[in-house]
Amino acid sequence: MPWLAQPWEGGVTAWIVVFGALIVVLVGGAVTNNSSNSVALLVVLAPIVVVACFALLQWWQVSSSRSEPASWWHLLGPAAGLVIWLIYPTAPGVLGGVGDARGACAALPTTDTAGCLRLATQAYDNHNLTWWLTGAAIVVCALLARRSRIAAWAAIPIALAGCEIASHYLQALLTTYGAG
């Protein structure tokens, strides 16, 4: 039987991969808080790509070997990911109660309204796209959970990474205008 399809070996590997991704996402998000978007994306998404590859490999090995599926309690991973995704604050500082580019420019200390609207629109578009893609990734993790313990518990670092990246786009807007 393949390594990741075996209950004990697959479970230990899942724990190592998911916990490692969680640590790297949290530390990477803190370290790249004021970095450029490309650096932050690379640092925060790298462990998510690794955990996703392991999750898909485990799903394939369990499916192809017709191993016993994981128990239903592994769906707690995607449930925890959904809770994190919904409650994690992704609008930093003065943008906390603002929901669009026009409101952001009103809250920021700037007189360049046209330039601010362009940057704020881009930041909010990137924020919203990242946030919704994170939700979709959590749903995919839930769908793969019965055949991949790694996918089930990967929803937690995926939720944190998505929320950190979404927050990073708005934090970059604050930094640009000296408000964050």
Q: What is the pLDDT of residues 76-124, one digit of tens each?
A: 999 999 999 999 999 988 888 888 999 999 989 888 889 999 999 999 9
Q: Which residues contact 107 (CB under 8 A, 6 or more apart)?
A: 94, 95, 98, 179
pTM of the full predicted structure?
Answer: 0.93
pLDDT at 141: 97
Q: Please state, rounded to an integer, the average pLDDT across all residues of the chain.
A: 93
Classify residue 88 by its DSSP letter.
S
What pLDDT was estimated at residue 33?
Answer: 86
Q: Convert the pLDDT of each residue in 75-86 to its tens digit.
A: 999 999 999 999
Within 32-75, residue ranges assigned H as helices are: 37-65
What is residue 178's predicted lDDT score, i.e. its pLDDT? 82
Model confidence band, residue 180 (pLDDT cutoffs 50, 70, 90): low
55 vs 7, residue with greater confidence: 55
| 33, 130, 96, 89 alpha-carbon torsion, rounded to 10° | -80
Which residue intervals of the chain are DSSP H helices?
Answer: 7-31, 37-65, 76-87, 101-107, 113-144, 149-176
Give yes or no for residue 50 having a pLDDT over 80: yes
Structure tokens that stand for 51 in this block: 């955990």
143-152 confidence digits (pLDDT tens):
999 999 999 9
Residue among 50, 64, 71, 56 nearest 2 (CA): 64
Mean pLDDT across 45-60: 97
Residue 125 sits at the vertex; the CA angle it makes with 26 and 103, to the nearest 5 degrees, is: 100
Is residue 92 within 8 Å of 170, Cβ to Cβ?
yes
